[in-house]
Copies of this chain bind each other. A is one copy, B any other.
């Protein structure tokens, strides 16, 4: 459909800028400006690459928000990640020389092109660059391992809670507020990412809102109690709460929300 890129080619970045973006301590041996990487702009909804497309370039997100997805045998999307500033895209294409996932812009985006051939050639000359590559790929691997652990072991509430905390931290790193931000993705996309249905995501956000952990207004999220979100395992049954309070031998005093939330 909208396969065409929004090539404007106005911007270029040097190696130092690329390393900074990736949070790689560039020894900055290359002050020369001859090593330039081109930028490309994508508009909301455009695809950066599709599944099966021949691989030749990696991308670094300079600004904007994206999602990467797998498409299963019957056309259902499985969201794999929500890349944003400083993330690398396309690494999954190296192995088979074809991208194995699809990347879509969730907002207008500015990406840096890293032609893979050029990159590896440069890596042999500039050691930081090579280390950067290994580091970024390893980091991505660790991120996915954490994701597997989360999908394998955590309750729906815990997944949503950690998702919010992770988002808040990313926004903080990017210099935005970690307390108040806008989700760039739909409930459906969040659900797919977390292995849940959109209804469960919606209900969970409402529940967090009700007990004061966050505030929700459509896609605007306010983080009220980041600590509780970080350690949350499961929510106290809202309808049964009275019964639970009666059962607990707490000398009649009301159980503090924090206690309930931290319950195994």
Contact = CB atoms under 8 A, between A and B. Distances in A.
Specify the main secondary structure of chain A where it touches its partner.
helix
Contacts of A93: 138
A76 B152 CA distance: 12
A151 B94 contact: no
B152 A144 contact: no
A192 B149 CA distance: 9
Contacts of A130: 120, 123-124
A258 to B, nearest CB: 17
A94 B152 contact: no
Given A100-B142, A120-B130, A95 B135 contact: yes
Contacts of A147: 144, 148
A78 B148 contact: yes
A216 interface: no
A130 B133 CA distance: 11
A192 B148 CA distance: 10
Interface string A179-198: 00000000000001111000
A134 interface: yes
Count of chain copies: 2
Contacts of A137: 91, 94, 134, 137-138, 141
A57 interface: no
B153 A94 contact: no
Contacts of A264: 74
A103 B149 CA distance: 15
A138 B138 CA distance: 10
Contacts of A140: 141
Counting chain A residues whose Cβ lies within 8 A of the other chain, the interface size class is 35 or more
Interface in A210-264: 264
Contacts of A194: 152
A231 to B, nearest CB: 8
A234 to B, nearest CB: 13
A142 to B, nearest CB: 5
A6 interface: no
A149 B80 contact: yes
Nearest to A133: B134
Nearest to A80: B145
A26 interface: no
Interface of A: 70, 72, 74, 76, 78, 80, 91-96, 100-101, 120, 123-124, 130-131, 133-142, 144-149, 151-153, 192-195, 264
Given A78-B149, A153-B195, 17 more contacts: A76-B153, A78-B148, A78-B153, A80-B149, A94-B134, A95-B138, A96-B142, A100-B142, A120-B130, A120-B131, A133-B134, A134-B137, A141-B144, A144-B144, A144-B147, A151-B195, A152-B192
